[in-house]
Structure 1
Amino acid sequence: MILYDFPLSEQVRVFLRLTTLFRHVFHFLQRDDPLDHHAALLSLFEIVDATARADVKSDLLQGLERQRGILSSLRRNPDVDAGTLDKTLRDLDEAIESLHASKGKFAEYLRNHEGLMAIKQRANLPGGVCDFDMPTYHYWLSLPVEVRRSHFSAWVAPLLSTQTALELHIRLMLESGKSFHLEARNGLYQQNKVGADARLLRVGVEEKFQCVPEISANKYQLNIRFLEMDETTRTGVVSTLVPFELVFCSF
């Protein structure tokens, strides 16, 4: 099953983008080739751009503290596993404490790093980081892999508390979601009420149906069109019935 997430607020949209970009960074960073470390650095620059106008730490703290408050209220519920609840609350406490301990705005030190921002500026141009344009960057990519990874780890280290908190926040949001097995007739599904508290929707479609959900949603209405795919091109709305899974995440 292929899963598609749809954020219902700009805050959650930023969180999902950051989560994806962090995964890109660490995927390429664990490899040894200079081109992989170049790709990791480009993803790091995307993190800088994606958070230019967002107060990530404040928004994330607000979300984590809200989740902690809701879970704390379940301590006396006999239907809740006490061990799992206590562990989750400890994870939330650690994430919140770590965020409070981090200094400055998210990624602020990267924006003030003269060398990295020089690379970032050139990287925005097609072919802008060729060795004849940026010999200093070419030199860095030519360093032993252990040295490059050590430098990169130092650049990423101040972001790790936010990355860990993001993963926890999104995971709890998805795990608490209410799941429904539904059908879209002639590739169309409509629902008149989403709910004011909904923060994220997840749509799951079996790969064999070869279609992609196009989602439009607010707290009053949800519309999903399942579009047929030809490689990477949408060819129109599916004309048959499409079973799918829909998850509402409000936590």
Structure 2
Amino acid sequence: MLSNLIHFEFPLNERIRLLLRLEQLFLQIDFYYQGTSFWDARALVDALLEILTILARNDVKSELLKELDRTSVLLEKLSQNQHVDSSALSELQDKVNSVRQHLSTTKGKIGASIINQDFFQSISLRTPIAGGKFGFDLPWYQRWLLQADEQRKEDIDRWLESLSEIKLGIDLLMNMVRSSAVPEDVLAMAGFFQATLDQTRPYQLIRVSIDNALPVFAEISGGKHRFTVRFLSQSVEKRPIQVEEDIEFRLTKCLL
């Protein structure tokens, strides 16, 4: 019986890969936002700068809009199913359409008004240098970090508010993708599992869940036609090797 599960995910297209990266960075921000120290604020700014760097790519806005458009069409088709909770579906449609409207009416790149500020430009220039963002490099940044938490949060809240719609869109899309399929319990013989994918169905994400008590991790690889899961031993001192025992795990092939 599988319990206390941890999850490993593998995107099957670049759009989902993009959403996963942004989702993880926003989760980091959520975590560090709860802290009140100098180091919490510094880590939050680092994560925010990574988000802004990704959003500065020319294709990000169009890719997000395409996925939202595709999802909107699917939700509209679902609304014709009498077995669907119409109230919950309508609420979901409203949220998706709100994000679509916000992105489509936003001029230029998402987050451009933040990343173009001298504050972030200066920090960005020092980021490639290992240890390049200390007080003697950026004394004004150190002064900002040394403010009272309430003062820092005023700036942080303003920055995050401008990204709230994109964060909502990412959360909506990834929640729908993950809940789009029913998990199945399968067995990896001698730590190895391989399966083919129906080429007529555009799967988006492979999700592998294992008991946290197992001292192994899942290495997933694959593409549109097939995927492979290998379970390797967890060690920080030795190179991971594939385990010899059979591993029971929960597999979800996500397709929205």
Q: The TM-score by the shorter chain falls in which range?
A: over 0.9
Residue 216 of structure 1 aligns with an amino acid whose one-letter code is S
**Is 1:250 aligned with 2:249?**
no
Q: 1:31 to 1:147 in 2, by over 3 A?
A: same
**Is 1:171 aligned with 2:175?**
yes
Higher relative contact order (CA 8 A, sep 6+): 2
The aligned residue for residue 159 of structure 2 is 155
The correspondence for 1:19, drawn from 13, 18, 23, is 23
TM-score by length of 1: 0.92
- What secondary structure does 1:237 align onto? coil
The aligned residue for residue 212 of structure 2 is 207
- What secondary structure does 1:127 align onto? coil
Tell me the CA shift for residue 234 of structure 1.
Answer: 4.6
**Is 1:182 aligned with 2:186?**
yes
Provide, for residues 20-62 of structure 1, a one-character-per-residue CA deviation record: whole Å limited to 9, x for no partner. Answer: 1011122212321111100000111111233343522221121
In the TM superposition, 1:129-148 aligns within 5 A as 129-148=133-152
Provide, for residues 133-189 of structure 1, a one-character-per-residue CA deviation record: whole Å limited to 9, x for no partner. Answer: 221111111222111111122222221111111111111111112322111000011
Gaps of 5+ in 2: none
2: CA distance between counterparts of 1:218 and 1:54? 25
The aligned residue for residue 223 of structure 2 is 218
1: CA distance between counterparts of 2:198 and 2:212? 26
Q: 1:232 to 1:89 in 2, by over 3 A?
A: farther
CA contact (8 A) 2:233 2:240 kept: yes
TM-score by length of 2: 0.91
Gaps of 5+ in 1: none
Q: 1:93 to 1:4 in 2, by over 3 A?
A: same
The correspondence for 2:202, drawn from 197, 202, 207, is 197
Q: 1:120 to 1:94 in 2, by over 3 A?
A: same
Provide, for residues 190-223 of structure 1, a one-character-per-residue CA deviation record: whole Å limited to 9, x for no partner. Answer: 1122544011111101112221111111121111
**Is 1:121 aligned with 2:125?**
yes
Residue 222 of structure 2 aligns with an amino acid whose one-letter code is A
Q: 1:245 to 1:54 in 2, by over 3 A?
A: farther
1: CA distance between counterparts of 2:128 and 2:250? 39
CA contact (8 A) 1:227 1:237 kept: yes
CA contact (8 A) 1:14 1:51 kept: no
In the TM superposition, 1:4-153 aligns within 5 A as 4-153=8-157
Tell me the CA shift for residue 233 of structure 1.
Answer: 5.1
CA contact (8 A) 2:194 2:229 kept: yes
**How big is the alpha-carbon RMSD for the aligned residues of Structure 1 and Structure 2?**
1.8
Tell me the CA shift for residue 231 of structure 1.
Answer: 4.3
More displaced 10-residue stretch of structure 1: 109-118 or 158-167: 109-118
2: CA distance between counterparts of 1:49 and 1:76? 40
More displaced 10-residue stretch of structure 1: 54-63 or 183-192: 54-63
More displaced 10-residue stretch of structure 1: 100-109 or 9-18: 100-109
**Is 1:229 aligned with 2:230?**
no
2: CA distance between counterparts of 1:194 and 1:118? 48
2: CA distance between counterparts of 1:76 and 1:192? 32
Q: 1:213 to 1:55 in 2, by over 3 A?
A: same
Tell me the CA shift for residue 238 of structure 1.
Answer: 1.2
Q: 1:75 to 1:127 in 2, by over 3 A?
A: closer
